[in-house]
Structure 1
Amino acid sequence: MTTLTDTLNTIDHFVWGPPLLILLVGTGAYFTFRLGFIQFRHLPTALKMVFSKDKASKTPGDVSAFAALCTALSATIGTGNIVGVATAIKIGGPGALFWMWLAALFGMATKYAECLLAIKYRKTDDKGHMVGGPMYYLKYGVGSNVLAVLFAIFALGVACFGIGTFAQVNAIVDATQISFGINKIYTATVLTVLVTIVTIGGIQSISKVAGKVVPTMAVFYVVACMTIIITNAEHVLPAIQLVLQSAFQSSAATGGFLGASIMLAIQSGIARGVFSNESGLGSAPMAAAAAKTHSCVRQGLISMTGTFFDTLLICTMTGLALILTGAWQSDYAGAEMTTHAFAVGLDSQTWGPILVSIGLMFFAFTTILGWNYYGERCVVFLLGTKAVLPYKLLFIALIASGAFLQLDLIWIIADIVNGLMAIPNLIGLILLRHVVAEETRLYFTPANQNDALASQTS
């Protein structure tokens, strides 16, 4: 007898099947070639823009370009960087990490394109705040209100009933209970209060918290991973060779690992990579639209570094830690696998698990904040600013109740809606590809480049 779970799993596998993965990577590949490998040629420039001061006070927008990037990163740097990488390698073997890299490299071009369009087609709401994202470039660029509404509905579903609430809340309460023995009720109460304080303040408040927490937690986690990598420095090159070899050949079954075909490595690596950095899903453009900037290309360049930081840096660190410590061959899975890797790599059964738990808590908390903002942007598009307060109250109530819900079905539903978000967004990117190409060409003409350099240095 077919159960609801079986039915939803079938839908999930269909949504995240080869067609969507090919469309996601294919869109990134198209923009990579069409824009002349922009993510390779202009990554140094983009990184300089992230950390350099511009004349943000004189430009339209609500927050600085850096704050907008941190808001987007707060949603993408999450449990996927810890749990998602472990899941991908468990299913697809070390080769999954290679396909994660490939998806990220192409994904940078996709992220550039969607965040460029977010600035180009952004609007001002009736309270004077900048609003933008796939809903707006689908409506005003493509001219399709149907696609715009569909995207907003799917994204709101993810914010309220998936990645934005229940999954993150459960990650936090489980981490505090396992590592510190704190009762779920106390954790849920404190978490609800903190989320309420931050989210009531809107994008200004969220970006301020994200601007402090995201860089801090990223450095904290990278240092912990680097400690494991440096300790096992002599095995790093063989680990990278294993990743490259496993990407193109089946892995033999060893320990708790059941073996992985090339197709499994490709599918799990690309799916988890996209799930982690969200390139092509359409979430980051909603944060990018609030950035103070005159140039849609400049913000596109800054935004594409989010995929670099998320996948090519943090996910790579996690993956190498799992491979170097042999945790990928253990009987553990998900967060337990990463915890085991840190315990072995740091030679501490106490500090290893605690470091992973702290990382999970910070990552999950900022993901809640980021998705709260994304949901708010969708509500404004669908119902107007009058619906923002009721939405925030509902979101807070969902956070409060999330610690006591069973996640089996919710994770599957979240995965489905998350995948459905990408479809209208990718359609919009493909239909507006010439706009992206033309804006890029104009920005990088010598005359415009001189003007841009003068404005940044004056």
Structure 2
Amino acid sequence: MNQLEYIVNAFSNFVWGLPLVILLIGGGLYLLVLSRFLPFRLIGHAIGVLRGKYDDPNDPGQISHFKALTTALSSTIGMGNIAGVAVAISVGGPGAMFWMWVSAIVGMSTKFFTSTLAIMYRGKDSSGELQGGPMYFIIEGLGKHWKPLAVMFSLFGMVGALPVVNVNQLTQAINDIVLIPNGVEVGLKSNLVIAFVLVALTSVIILGGLKRISNAASKMVPSMVLLYFVLVLFILIANYDVVPKYFLMIFTDAFSANNFKESPFLGGVLGGLILLGIRRGAFSNEAGIGTAPMAHGAAKTDEPVREGLVAMLGPAIDTLVVCTLTALAILVTGVWETTSDNGVSLTASAFSHVMPEYGKYLLMLCVLIFSVSSLFSYAYYGTKCMSFIVGAEKKHYYNYIYIVSIILAATTPFSVMLNLIDGTFALMAIPTMVATLILAPKVIKEIKPYLARIKED
């Protein structure tokens, strides 16, 4: 297992080099300038679209704007927001959160472009069903000779969609919060029991297809965000006197990197901290990775720009709101300095610090909802990737791979799972961002007529 951990860590560090940082952040900044900051100028309109103001049941597609966003959010609002933020702070200190914000702000622009392209260049799978996502906009937008890039995305997408981090951290949460405090011995047997329960629950939803997944997500996501928001607000009110201090520290520590504990990058600890924030930001909001366009590509709309505007709200909700709440809860309670906990256990310590009797159980409820909703969405992404490679009639085989991975994840160390998904996400980002940057001028051409149409309305 130590050898496996070393290999996976080396793989993740290798692909997350300077070229990928330039592609994700530099590419996102280029898109932001190219669009003249359009995503931010039309936030009010995007919220109107999300509320259903422009919905037309006769539009092509499978699900509503709201269900497309909640399906995408149910994968991004997950362990990246609870475990991912905790990892970022335990390794990089408060400043890591600042670089996650930068990743999210740039990511809003990236999501706008990738999800607009997902509608502009929808393709048909082997069964004739209309589909969207990077693999389709690569083929339809760039031409058949770019197919190797689409296949690359789909192959790595099948691995990136495996729910290994969510399952691993949910298992850790159940062990640390529920079983161990109640005197239950944890080990391989208890982990397998948790895995089989998750397999049963997940199978019921994912075998029902996109409609069932989007229905479940549209009910679970808003309620879980609200509950989490209320709980963290309680923690912040209880520690109101130190909130300004730590909020300010997010900015100051972002440039001093005083609390960074890992290897430097580009010759310095600040470079290492920036890379950490971008990696954790990418894991949290998945901007530029290519997963969200697969959900948004299924939206019922014939207005590509409209769906792009809805998609760009994802990183704002996910990283700027939910991740910030987690970070402040960990910082103001001081557990990031007083415990050696990592991942979900560190966040649980913060909740227990303020609500000793019931805090960790309320967090457990959030973790459960976060994780289970993510399980549904990732299964959909994986089947879409497999469908592209081997045909829609064989895509259901992915569900069996997915179910086996749940059992594997529940019994494997957290660092192995996190580095595996980090590395795979990096390799998914390459085809997604390359195609998006080439096709970006086509998106710009769509914006002007769209703005004219909404003025007429």
Structure-1 residue corresponding to 2:159: 157
Q: Where in structure 2 are the equivalents of 1:318-337 lying within 5 Å?
A: 318-330=326-338, 331-337=340-346
Tell me how far 1:422 sits from its aligned partner.
0.4
**Quick one: structure 1 residues 343 and 281, their matched pair in 2 at CA, closer, same or farther if it must change by over 3 Å?**
same
Q: Where in structure 2 are the equivalents of 1:283-432 lying within 5 Å?
A: 283-330=291-338, 331-344=340-353, 346=354, 348-406=355-413, 408-432=415-439
Structure-1 residue corresponding to 2:50: 50
**Quick one: structure 1 residues 8 and 60, their matched pair in 2 at CA, closer, same or farther if it must change by over 3 Å?**
same
Structure 1 window deviating more from structure 2 (99-108 vs 412-421): it is 412-421
**Quick one: structure 1 residues 391 and 353, their matched pair in 2 at CA, closer, same or farther if it must change by over 3 Å?**
same
**Quick one: structure 1 residues 450 and 39, their matched pair in 2 at CA, closer, same or farther if it must change by over 3 Å?**
closer
Tell me how far 1:369 sits from its aligned partner.
1.0
With normalisation by structure 2, the TM-score equals 0.91
Rounded Cα–Cα distance in structure 2 between residues aligned with 1:141 and 1:202: 27
Tell me how far 1:383 sits from its aligned partner.
1.1
Give the secondary-structure state (helix, strand or coil) at the position aligned to 2:256.
coil
Q: Where in structure 2 are the equivalents of 1:152-301 lying within 5 Å?
A: 152-159=154-161, 164-181=162-179, 183-251=190-258, 261-301=269-309
Give the secondary-structure state (helix, strand or coil) at the position aligned to 1:292.
coil
Rounded Cα–Cα distance in structure 2 between residues aligned with 1:388 and 1:402: 22
Structure-1 residue corresponding to 2:62: 62
Q: Which consecutive residues of structure 2, in runs of 5 or more, have no partner in the other structure?
A: 185-189
Q: Structure 2 residue aligned with 1:148, among 142, 147, 150? A: 150
Q: What do residues 363-391 of structure 1 show as CA deviations (whole Å, max 9, x unaligned)?
A: 11111111100011111111111112222
The 8 Å contact of residues 74 and 214 in structure 1, kept in 2 or not, is answered as: yes
Rounded Cα–Cα distance in structure 2 between residues aligned with 1:404 and 1:337: 20
Tell me how far 1:17 sits from its aligned partner.
2.2
* Root-mean-square deviation over aligned CA pairs: 2.3
Tell me how far 1:47 sits from its aligned partner.
1.9
Tell me how far 1:264 sits from its aligned partner.
2.9
The 8 Å contact of residues 62 and 129 in structure 1, kept in 2 or not, is answered as: no
Rounded Cα–Cα distance in structure 2 between residues aligned with 1:400 and 1:223: 33
With normalisation by structure 1, the TM-score equals 0.90
Q: Which consecutive residues of structure 1, in runs of 5 or more, have no partner in the other structure?
A: none
**Quick one: structure 1 residues 334 and 250, their matched pair in 2 at CA, closer, same or farther if it must change by over 3 Å?**
same
Q: What do residues 300-324 of structure 1 show as CA deviations (whole Å, max 9, x unaligned)?
A: 0001101111000000111111111
Structure 1 window deviating more from structure 2 (81-90 vs 392-401): it is 392-401
The 8 Å contact of residues 169 and 343 in structure 2, kept in 1 or not, is answered as: no
Q: What do residues 213-270 of structure 1 show as CA deviations (whole Å, max 9, x unaligned)?
A: 11111111111111112222333222221111111213269xx999993223212111
Q: What do residues 14-39 of structure 1 show as CA deviations (whole Å, max 9, x unaligned)?
A: 21123212221111111111111123
Tell me how far 1:158 sits from its aligned partner.
1.5
Rounded Cα–Cα distance in structure 1 between residues aligned with 2:235 and 2:373: 25
Tell me how far 1:50 sits from its aligned partner.
1.3
Structure 1 window deviating more from structure 2 (5-14 vs 209-218): it is 5-14
Letter in structure 2 aligned against 1:156: M
Letter in structure 2 aligned against 1:106: V
